Amino acid sequence: MGMRKGASNAGSGSGDERPEADARGRYGEAGYNDGIAVFSYIIGGIIVWSLIGWGLDNLLGTRWIVLAGGLLGAVGGFYLSHKHNLTRSNSSGPDSMPERRRGPEEGSPE
């Protein structure tokens, strides 16, 4: 109640501001959301490419293209999740927070 308008409880602005530890885990909400995105890419790829393979199997009278389509979808989904930087390696140490690269839609200089 005794705070002025516009005042905050933040530090003195020393420039050494770190993200606060999150009770939900090392990556906070981002780890869960990234996991769902990876899962969606892989399962979506399997479903879409299996359906394409099924259609080609019916058209060509074969039985193996649906399996090749499912495998292609799984590999493609993992590749997309890797390209979107959703997979992480543990080489940065247990206490460090990884930097997440920004994609072209987020305004990166690439």
Burial class (CB in 10 A: 0-12, 13-18, 19+), 17: exposed
Mean pLDDT of 90-109: 56
- What local confidence, expressed as pLDDT, does residue 56 receive? 97
Which two structure tokens, joined as six digits, stand for 32?
Answer: 């869960």
* Alpha carbon distance 22, 33 (integer Å): 15
In this prediction the pTM is: 0.56
pLDDT, tens only, 37-92: 999 999 999 999 999 999 999 999 999 999 999 999 999 999 999 998 888 765 55
More confident residue, 104 or 6: 104
* Alpha carbon distance 109, 55 (integer Å): 42
